[in-house]
Amino acid sequence: EDQVTQSPEALRLQEGESSSLNCSYTVSGLRGLFWYRQDPGKGPEFLFTLYSAGEEKEKERLKATLTKKESFLHITAPKPEDSATYLCAVQAWGGATNKLIFGTGTLLAVQP
């Protein structure tokens, strides 16, 4: 069964303290891996899509990487406005190919 596990569940950082969030996945055939950011009371906001192992994408202080078993979201010198829940999701080949399977997220708090 396709599955996504995110760790840690929660992470507290000081402003400027870089760290990484992990997304481990088990999928029959990976069509795409997606990262989203969700602020309280709002819908998930798209960040990145990764399609193949070795691929990397960057946006401001965020960088997403992908291997055959996991993805990392690296946060460099975070600011308080980076505080949010970060969600990882996978899309698999076969069956309903546009179905996203989400992890339970990492709640990030960045303190000034």
Interacting residues with another protein (CB under 8 A): 31-32, 34, 36, 38, 41-46, 49, 85, 87, 89, 91, 96-102, 104-105
CB of residue 16 vs another protein: minimum separation in angstroms? Answer: 27
User: Please, is 41 exposed, middle or buried when counting C-beta atoms within 10 Å of its C-beta (0-12, 13-18, 19+)?
Assistant: exposed
CB of residue 55 vs another protein: minimum separation in angstroms? Answer: 14
CB atoms within 10 A of CB 99: 12
CB of residue 54 vs another protein: minimum separation in angstroms? Answer: 19
